[in-house]
Amino acid sequence: MLQLSFYAIISLPVTHQDCYSLNFIQTLLWHISFVTFDIFILYKSFIVVDKNKLYLALASMVLLYRIGWSIVGLIKSGGYWDDAEQACNYHQDSSSGFQYTLTDILCDLLATIASVVMLCKPENRLLTFESLWLLLVKENALRSFITLIINAVQNYCFIRLLNLELYYKAHREEKLAESLRLSASSRNSVADRPSAPERHSQTTRKG
């Protein structure tokens, strides 16, 4: 909700004075929302696996890795003002973007594997379907599996859109270069034509 409210604010016209700061706050809120969700699913899985110490160590490493790359992304990515277009653009660091997106997937994958392992244990198969603990395990596994699929589809769509943007960017540059060549050629042809007095002088000399 906080992030959506901020999106409504930054939809207003942005000047070069607040371009960087607004993009920084937007990126910070974006990272906070994803890290909060990662903490939620990892902690819930931690309860499901009966507070297993190995799981706690793995989850802590993954979460610290995610936070670390979030900080790198905040430092290397950000908004900048384009004087030519008079617009506020955003530069995304490719290395940090790949790393924290991969870590989000690892969080979902870790939670899914932990839940499936607990669900497949022989002693857990004897539990009735009305067991609250078993329902919690199934819910956690299903949620993590769905989240993993959504993240994979989202990343695929982002990659396709990025490729599309790069294609159209190259196409725009070709059209711009062609327009500049035609404009320069037109100016040269006009400059090579003799002016009216010169044409009159040439006609008089011929007469």
Question: Rounded distance, CA 183 to CA 190, Å?
Answer: 11
Residue 150 pLDDT: 75
Residue 77 pLDDT: 82
Residue 146 pLDDT: 76
- What is the number of other CB atoms lying within 10 angstroms of the CB of residue 60? 12
Residuewise pLDDT in 10s, the chain (207 residues): 444 444 444 445 566 677 788 888 888 888 888 899 889 888 888 888 888 899 999 999 999 999 998 898 888 888 778 777 777 777 777 787 788 888 888 888 888 888 777 777 766 555 555 565 666 666 666 776 777 777 777 777 777 777 777 777 777 777 777 777 777 776 666 555 555 555 555 555 555
Residue 60 pLDDT: 93
Residue 187 pLDDT: 67
108, 103, 115: which is closest to 72 by C-alpha?
103
Check residue 18 and report its DSSP letter.
T
Residue 63 pLDDT: 92
DSSP per residue, the chain = -HHHHHHHHHTS---TTTHHHHHHHHHHHHHHHHHHHHHHHHHHHHHHTTS-HHHHHHHHHHHHHHHHHHHHHHHH-EEEEETTTTEEEEE--HHHHHHHHHHHHHHHHHHHHHHHHHHHSGGGTTS-TT-HHHHHHHHHHHHHHHHHHHHHHHHHHHHHHHHHHHHHHHHHHHHHHHHHHHHHHHHHHHHHSPPHHHHHHHHHHH-
Residue 192 pLDDT: 58
Question: Phi and psi at residue 89, in whole multiples of 5°?
Answer: -105, 165
Question: Rounded distance, CA 57 to CA 47, Å?
Answer: 14
Q: Which residues of 105-130 are buried (b: 16+ CB within 10 A; e: fewer)?
A: ebbbbbbbebbebbbeeeeeeeeeee
* Structure tokens that stand for 152 in this block: 């994979």
Structural contact between residues 63 and 40, judged by C-beta atoms closer than 8 angstroms: no
Structural contact between residues 137 and 119, judged by C-beta atoms closer than 8 angstroms: yes
